[in-house]
Structure 1
Amino acid sequence: MAGTAEPSTRLRHVYWIGGGSGAGKSTIARRLADRHGWRLYATDDVMRDHAARATAEEAPFLHQFLAMDMDERWVNRSPHVMLETFHWFRGEGFGLIVEDLLSLPQEPCVIVEGFRLLPHLVRPLLAAPEHAVWLLPTPGFRQAAVRSRAVHGEGFVRRTSDPARAARNLAERDRMFTTSLHGEAERLQLRTIQVDTTMTEDDLVEQVTTAFRL
């Protein structure tokens, strides 16, 4: 019966795009969804809903984070502590992503994207390894993103007492997160794509299309 099938069987119509911050996940997923007539599931869009649904027992790091003020979150802690205690990086709430996906019809295909898609959590759900890819920004790409962040500002960074320090902390945390993703994906023999400043959006779309064997 469909209800008792393994999640990897029930989610065989799902394609996954994970990766580091600002690597183009949302843009590429949207373009592929439009091209193929797929459903798009953006994990960023459901974070607020998932935070409301997760109990303190299920998501202790999330509830600790919610209790902090902006400086406690982004200024006063080291990037390493920020990385190790950030709830989404710990996989909290990932089960809610799976619940949402299992509730969707199996047609059309679904493309799901977001930094919350950690390789070790996604791997058991894959009917085929080529249904997942992680976009990893290079140091140069990250530096360009940091400069853009400094020019345009991030709303939550501006709400701290020291936006410059908060931005540096965030950039270093994201660098370490990308490094962690790379190592984890390699260990699990999952596909990654390096995203650098010379790559066009069209280039990245084609590389992801090739990775998915579409």
Structure 2
Amino acid sequence: MMRRLSGILIGGSSHVGKTTLARRLAEALGWNMVSTDSLARHPGRPWPSVRQPVAEYYARLSPETIYWFLRVHHENMWPGIRRIIEEELQAGRPFVFEGSALRPESIAPLVSEAIAGVFLHADNDFLQERMQSEAGYRQAGEADRRVMDSFIERSLRDNSEMRADAEKHGLRMVDVADAGAVTGLFDELVPGA
């Protein structure tokens, strides 16, 4: 028997398909969709064109600092995200919430009979190819590639660390390189789809 859900939380690093899956689920279920991208901005992907402030961010900072800023940004967002989740639950509005700021250590305590939590991931080679393809990496100039490389390095590190945290916290994990696994998750969460 399928449990009665009030919310679905989808976490994962950049380019794993969180937004695509969340939109499909929200549309199929008739639920509200919330993306952490709409709540706060952080220097994200430096494409389709490399904007000067984003280029400076990735060019001037060390890989460790870039990743540290990402983690701090997510930690700073969490109280607001938690408040939105609580408001949606109290109002009885079912939701699909997605974003990189939904880190495993934050969402694991919320997973229950009423809230599903899932972590999307892929191996780094798959994600690197996906990001380079979307960025037009092979056609980009050397300076733009260096900026893209910094973003990709940050994202791959985040993917690896979030995957380890998801395993540690016992979250459901889905490898997005396996189309059948993503379809299976969708079918499980949308009965009769």
Return the offset for 1:165. 0.8
Unaligned regions of 5+ residues in structure 1, if any?
Answer: 1-11, 52-68
Q: Among 123, 127, 133, which residue is 1:138 paired with? A: 123
Partner of 1:24: 17
Partner of 1:207: 185
- What number of residue pairs does the alignment pair up? 176
- The structural deviation recorded for 1:208 is 4.3
Q: Contact 1:20–1:137 at 8 Å: present in 2 too?
A: no
Cα deviations by residue, 1:29-71 (Å, 9 ceiling, x for unpaired) = 11111111111111111225xx8xxxxxxxxxxxxxxxxx544
Q: Which amino acid aligns with 2:10?
A: I
Deviation at 1:152, TM superposition (A): 7.3
1:98 is displaced (CA, Å) by 1.6
Q: Name which of 34, 42, 45 aligns with 1:41.
A: 34
Corresponding position: 1:127 with 2:120:
no
How has the CA–CA distance of structure 1 residues 180 and 188 changed in structure 2, closer, same or farther, with 3 Å as cutoff? same
Distance 2:67 2:114 in 1: 27
Residue 160 of structure 2 is aligned to residue 167 of structure 1: no
Q: Structure 2 counterpart of 1:194, which letter? A: D
SS in 1 for 2:9: strand
SS in 1 for 2:76: coil
- Looking at structure 1, the residues matched to 80 and 106 of structure 2 have their Cα atoms a distance apart, in angstroms, of 12
Cross-structure match for 2:81? 97
Which residue type is aligned with residue 58 of structure 2?
W
Q: CA RMSD in A?
A: 3.0
Change (3 A) 1:87 1:185: closer
Q: Which amino acid aligns with 2:102?
A: L
| Structure 2 letter corresponding to 1:207 | L
What amino acid maps onto 1:77 in structure 2?
Answer: L
Deviation at 1:84, TM superposition (A): 1.8
CA distance in 1, matches of 2:72, 2:187: 27
Q: Which residue of 1 aligns with 2:98?
A: 113
What is aligned with 2:49?
Answer: none
Q: Kindly indicate whether the alpha-carbon contact (under 8 Å) linking 1:18 and 1:113 is maintained by their aligned counterparts in 2.
A: yes
Identity %: 23
Query: Which has the higher mean CA deviation after the structures are superposed, 80-89 or 134-143?
Result: 80-89
Aligned to 1:148: 133
Matched, 1:189 2:170: yes
Displacement of 1:103: 2.6
Contact 1:88 1:116 in 2 (8 A): no
Asked if structure 2 preserves the Cα contact closer than 8 Å seen for 1:22 and 1:145, the reply is: yes
Kept after mapping to 1: 8 A contact 2:29/2:190: no
- C-alpha distance in 2 between matches for 1:169 and 1:111: 30
Amino acid paired to 1:94 = W
